[in-house]
Amino acid sequence: MDGADYGVLAAAWAGTAAASLSSDTAFVQSMLDVEAAWVQVQAEAGLCSAEDAQAVDQVASVERYDLRLLASRTPDGANALIPLLGMMRELLAHDNAPASASTALHRGATSQDIIDTALMLVLAKTVAQTQADLRSTADGLAGLAQAHRQTLCIARSLTQHALPTTFGWKAASWLSAVLDAEKQLETASLQLRLQWGGAVGTLASLEQFLADKKSAETSSRQLSSRLAERLGLQDPVAPWHTNRMPILQLGSALGAVIAALGTFGADVLTASRPEVGELSEQREAGKGGSSAMPQKQNPVRSVLLRNAAFASPGLLSTLFTAAGTAVDERPDGGWHAEWSALRELARLAVGAAFHGSFLANGLNVNLEAIGRNLALGGDAVLSERLASVLAPLVPGGKPAIQALVRHSLNEDASLFELLRKEIPEEDLSDDALRELFDPAGYLGAADRFTETILAEYSARKELWQSQN
């Protein structure tokens, strides 16, 4: 039986762009891209011929490689680049490429240069995809926040009903987390750095080559810059073979994205419970249904967001352990542990952003259920307000009022009536008292906060648009 994975056990990202952007196939293609770009940069600098570059380009197609074979050779040198390079050279020979192509190939580079850079290319694509879907998620949440600025609902703490709020502010709170994560991801994307240092981070071999090739007018500095530019990566100030901070910043930002979406999904899961019923995922043909139980509509996308939120923290911890124990000029196992963990984090982020975007842009808001739940606790939900406003008017002050609240709850008695009896009408009219029972009058700064977050979103959105 062959040994391939397709995402069958990775529901959180299977079927999304993560699969094609970050598969082994995509990663090997990225390694090939780095090698080909490097020969191209050399050719442009006159360090090898255009034919060499052309020949290497010919072997830089993943289709030409047997990835099962490649994987099986990976443990020989503890990384995949070493056997890949061998295979590339075999193909060059097979293609009757000039020997100089083989010499120019991988010139002065080390396997860590290629692997780290290829991972950065995979990350660049998955980060971009994540950003796009995260921004679309923000659009959806902003729409919800705006649309529901006046939608009263119950706010809960520690699972219990507490006070009224607006559904708009709830959506704006999700939005605020998404915006924070989106900003962190953008900052982190500046860490998408080329790795270029040669065997031990000195570029000794390349510099020797340039020195011998006295005609060369190009410095190793310039060559690195051109390679970074060609690959669309940051030009690093220096190799970072054992300085794994770029990996940590990127990993942390991806983890933050997943967490921001996880908390959104967690709230939708709660609100989708039949007893709560405030929210439901958009029904889509073939999604979330149960054939045996047609009444059942699973909140699949929220489940997947939670799946991602549970899976990412452990992966992130692997990156930090690896970074904090890196030794010498190349780590002795930590580096190797980064690869899968980092890619899986990126995949989860792509998957989460994809599902989050759908969820945010198609959420059904059940106003009836929201109203019903708000009313569930009766007038007691405003007890904080009543106690605070009426304390001066009721003998015994706050404690007396709180006792009335409890009495009302236990005896199912009207809190209005109980309070009415205690407060002379000359002190407070019926209307004024009744007004205190209106949850719409006790929303505090909910709308101001919503507006603030929406303004932040708008400013951010303008920036995104200006980037395109």
Closer to a second copy by Cβ: residue 318 or 357: 318
Closer to a second copy by Cβ: residue 414 or 452: 452
Indicate whether 244 belongs to the interface with a second copy (CB under 8 A). yes
Q: How many whole angstroms separate alpha carbon 283 and alpha carbon 358?
A: 11
Closer to a second copy by Cβ: residue 275 or 426: 275
Indicate whether 11 belongs to the interface with a second copy (CB under 8 A). yes
Closer to a second copy by Cβ: residue 356 or 468: 356
Q: What's the number of CA atoms in the CB half-sphere (13 Å) around residue 77? A: 12
Binders in 253-292 for a second copy, by CB under 8 A: 255-256, 258-263, 265-267, 269-270, 272-277, 286-292
Q: How many whole angstroms separate alpha carbon 126 and alpha carbon 343?
A: 9
Contact present, 277 and 230 (Cβ < 8 Å): no
Contact present, 40 and 53 (Cβ < 8 Å): yes
Catalytic option among 330, 372, 420, 460: 330
β partners of residue 234: 193
Indicate whether 3 belongs to the interface with a second copy (CB under 8 A). yes
**Chain length of the chain:** 468
The SS3 of residue 287 is coil
Angle among Cα 163, 169, 171 to the nearest 5 degrees reads 120
Contact present, 355 and 39 (Cβ < 8 Å): no
Indicate whether 42 belongs to the interface with a second copy (CB under 8 A). no
String marking each residue 214-243 x if it binds a second copy according to CB under 8 A? ------xx---------------xxxxxxx
Please give the structure tokens belonging to residue 239.
């190799």
Binding-site member from 114, 121, 279, 303 for a second copy (CB under 8 A):
303
Binding-site member from 41, 92, 363, 381 for a second copy (CB under 8 A):
381
Contact present, 114 and 81 (Cβ < 8 Å): yes
Catalytic option among 290, 340, 429, 458: 290
- C-alpha torsion 186→191→192→198, nearest 10: 180
Indicate whether 246 belongs to the interface with a second copy (CB under 8 A). yes
Q: How many whole angstroms separate alpha carbon 149 and alpha carbon 217?
A: 64
* Annotation marks residue 219 as catalytic: no
* Annotation marks residue 215 as catalytic: no
Closer to a second copy by Cβ: residue 56 or 85: 85
Q: Pick the piece of the chain touching a second copy (CB under 8 A) from 37-45, 52-60, 205-213, 458-466.
A: 205-213
Indicate whether 434 belongs to the interface with a second copy (CB under 8 A). no
Residues labelled catalytic = 290, 330
